Amino acid sequence: MASQIYAAQVLGLTAVTFHTSIQWSMSWLVMPSILAAKDPKEKLNLWKALYSRGARTGPPAALLATGTLAYVSYLATSPATRRFYIIAAIMPALIVPYTWLFIDSTNMFLHERKTAFDNHEEVRPEDNRRITDALNKWRDLNYVRTFMPFVATVMAVIGLTRNKAVSI
């Protein structure tokens, strides 16, 4: 039983740390390169590739982190440690409503412009500014979104280091 608990702790911490890294890297490492592109079509092509990769990796990492950390919180015998793991389990899941409330409208705008350009719509002079503004907004909102798995990582580390998460 102890090895299952440790495995769940390590898996949960690894998943949430990976998720934090993905989120942060999108804004910190990738978005500056996308924003440096001169052509609005190229910006949208690069953003779409980033969006697609993030959509394939972020949700599974968040789900794995939430599930394993919830399992560890269920097994915790110390109420204080259980609270750390409960917070750690909840935080990655909060990304979903945050995304729906704050990021989806920006995503929809960027997807619409990408589709329009793919359908050979002419690039208007104001397109580059509007797309750049939307990408900057997306980057900033994604930084905020990174806060959620980061808090989960900190809570999971505290829970793990307390070494009273479960009775062995």
pLDDT above 70 coverage of the chain, percent? 96
Residue 119: predicted pLDDT: 95
Rounded CA separation 14/17 (Å): 5
In a domain, 68, yes or no: yes
pLDDT at 164 over 90: no
Share of the chain above pLDDT 90, in %: 86
Count Cβ neighbours within 10 Å for each residue of 13-41 and write b for 16 or more, e otherwise: bbbbbbbbebbbebbeebbeebeebeebb
Of the pLDDT bands very low, low, confident and very high (cuts 50, 70, 90), residue 95 is very high
Residue 168 located in a structural domain: no
What is the pLDDT averaged over residues 106-129? 94
Residue 29 lies in a domain: yes
Q: Mean pLDDT for the chain? A: 93
- When divided into structural domains, the chain yields a total of 1
Q: Which pLDDT belongs to residue 99?
A: 96
* 167 lies in some domain: no
Instruction: Answer with the residue of higher pLDDT: 162 or 94.
Output: 94
- Tell whether 77 is covered by a domain: yes
Please report whether residue 44 resides in a domain. yes
Q: How far is CA 76 from CA 40, 64, 70, in A?
A: 51, 18, 10
Q: Domain residues for 71?
A: 2-162
d(CA 42, CA 57): 23
Is 71 within the bounds of a domain? yes
SS3 call for 45:
helix
Residue 94 located in a structural domain: yes
Supply the pTM of this predicted model: 0.90
> What's the whole-number mean pLDDT along residues 125-136?
96
